[in-house]
Amino acid sequence: MNPATDIIKNNHRGLINQTSATNYAIDALKQKQFFKLVCGASLADIQMIENLCFVFALAGTHVIDLAPKADVIFAARRGIEKALSRDRSRPVPTPLLMASIQLDKDPHFRKIEVDYSLCDLCSACVKVCPTEAFKIENKKFIYSAEKCYGCGICPSYCHVSALEMIDTKPTPIETLKEMLLLNIEAIEFHFGGNFQKLEEIWSDVVKICQGKPLLLSFSIGSGLLSNEQIKNAANLCYKLAGKDIILQCDGTPMSGGINKKLDKKDKNGQIGYNKDSPSLQVAKIIEEEKLPVYLQISGGTNESSYAMATEAGININGVAIGSYARKLLMPYLNSLDNENQLKEAVNIAKFLVNSVGGKQ
C-alpha cells in the first residue's frame, strides 16, 4: 500500500472546506485581487510552515503554495485549522493549498549540500541564510536541510567551498499521484527551461487527474526562457490545459522582494516603479498573446508589485510573494503565542495581501 494512503486515513481535514477554498481563490482571480503566499517548493521546516499558514490564513490569503510533501501539507492544514477555529464569530475565508511539482531542472527545487570536512566554522553562511538553516553550537556546524529553500545565496559566502547547490530529481507523475491522494486541489507545474516536458507527460496528467476539480498553475520563468520561448510556453500550457489556468510570470525566483519602488533616483536616473522588472516583462509578453488565462506575477515581488504592474499598463490577476513575506515575518514566527506579536504579524501579512487590487 502507498504510505500516503495510510497518512490520509489519519488526516481528517476538520474545518477545511475545499470547495469554498477553491471558490475563494477563483473569485479573487476574476476580481484581480488574488494573493498567493509562497512557502517555497523546497521548504520543509514544519513549524515555520504551520506558523506562516496560521498568520496568512488570518490575513485572508487566497492560496498557499507548498512543497509537495505529506508532512508539509499536514503542517499547512494545522496552521489553517488554527486560524479557522480561532474566533468563530469572525470567520476567516479558507485558503486553497497548492503543491508545486517539478517537471525538469528548476531553481525552485534545489538544496544545499555541505562538505563538513572543509568547514572551518567561520560562520559567514550562518549570517546570510534567510531561514536560519545553519547553526554553530559547541564548535559544531549544524545544517537543517528542511529549512533550506534553495535561494542560492550561501555558496558564494563560503571561502572554502564547503556549500554546494544540488538539484533535486523530478518525479512528476509519482508526486502528482501522492498529492491527489492527499486531496490537494491546486497544482503548479514548474518546467524550468524545458517547457516541452509538459507535452511529454500531459496525457498521464490528464489520466491521473480525471474528474478532480483542480486549479492548475504553470510557472514560466524569465531567466530560463527567451521571449519567443515564453510565448510558446504560454501557448502550450493553454493548448494542453485550456482556459482558466494561472500562468505564473516568474521574474527572479527567491530574490526576496527586490523590485522595490524607488523613492530616490537609482544609478540609471530612474525613480518610481521599475517597469523593466523580469516578472512584468514575462507578463507583458504573455499578455500580448491574448489568452483566456489568469496572469499572476512572482519572483522579486513585494507590496509595490501590483501597483507597479498597473502603472506599466500590464493587466495582471494577482501576485505571489515568497521570500519577502518570510523575511518580514521571521522575527514574529516563534512568538505567535503572544497576542501582540500575533497581531503585528497578521497586520504585516494583511498589508501584503491587500496590496493586490489596490485595496489599501
Q: How far is the CB of 113 from ligand SF4 (least distance, A)?
A: 10
Partner residues linked to 231 by β-bridges: none
Q: What share of the chain is helix, strand, coil (3-state, %, to 5)?
A: 40, 15, 45
Binding mask 162-181 for ligand SF4 (x = CB under 6 A): xx------------------
Among 27, 71, 87, 120, binds ligand SF4 (CB under 6 A): 120
Piece of 9-17, 94-102, 114-122, 180-188 that binds ligand SF4 (CB under 6 A): 114-122
Give the list of residues 6+ apart from residue 38 with CB closer than 8 angstroms, or none: 65, 298, 320, 321, 322, 323, 325
Which letter does DSSP use for residue 150 in this model? -
Among 2, 30, 142, 160, binds ligand SF4 (CB under 6 A): 160
Piece of 9-17, 68-76, 159-167, 291-299 that binds ligand SF4 (CB under 6 A): 159-167
Q: Are 36 and 61 in contact (CB under 8 A)?
A: yes
Piece of 22-30, 158-166, 281-289, 342-350 that binds ligand SF4 (CB under 6 A): 158-166
* Residue with Cβ nearer ligand SF4 (72 or 151): 151
Count residues binding ligand SF4 (CB under 6 A): 25
Piece of 2-10, 112-120, 169-177, 292-300 that binds ligand SF4 (CB under 6 A): 112-120
Among 37, 39, 44, 158, binds ligand SF4 (CB under 6 A): 158
Piece of 19-27, 150-158, 173-181, 213-221 that binds ligand SF4 (CB under 6 A): 150-158
CA-CA distance, 18 to 241, in Å (whole number)? 21
Q: How far is the CB of 63 from ligand SF4 (least distance, A)?
A: 22
* Residue with Cβ nearer ligand SF4 (58 or 129): 129
**Burial tier of 330 (Cβ tally within 10 Å: 0-12, 13-18, 19+):** middle
Residue 187 makes contact with ligand SF4 by CB under 6 A: no
Which letter does DSSP use for residue 90 in this model? S
Give the list of residues 6+ apart from residue 10 with CB closer than 8 angstroms, or none: none
Q: Are 36 and 98 in contact (CB under 8 A)?
A: yes
The three-class DSSP label of residue 111 is: strand
Among 84, 119, 245, 321, binds ligand SF4 (CB under 6 A): 119
Q: How far is the CB of 332 from ligand SF4 (least distance, A)?
A: 19
C-alpha distances in Å from residue 131, one per residue of 15, 120, 146, 275, 337? 30, 21, 10, 29, 20
Piece of 128-136, 218-226, 263-271, 274-282 that binds ligand SF4 (CB under 6 A): 128-136
Q: Are 259 and 279 in contact (CB under 8 A)?
A: yes
Give the Cα-Cα-Cα angle 74, 59, 67 (nearest 5 degrees).
Answer: 30
Give the list of residues 6+ apart from residue 227 with CB closer than 8 angstroms, or none: 285
Among 59, 129, 224, 328, binds ligand SF4 (CB under 6 A): 129
Burial call 97-120: b when 16+ CB within 10 Å, e when fewer: bbbbbbbbbbbbbbbbebeeeebe
Q: Are 124 and 159 in contact (CB under 8 A)?
A: yes
Residue 153 makes contact with ligand SF4 by CB under 6 A: yes
Q: How far is the CB of 116 from ligand SF4 (least distance, A)?
A: 8
Residue 133 makes contact with ligand SF4 by CB under 6 A: yes
Among 24, 35, 109, 141, binds ligand SF4 (CB under 6 A): 141
Looking up cell 567561520 gives 122
Residues that bind ligand SF4 (CB under 6 A): 112, 119-125, 128-129, 131, 133, 141, 148-154, 157-158, 160, 162-163
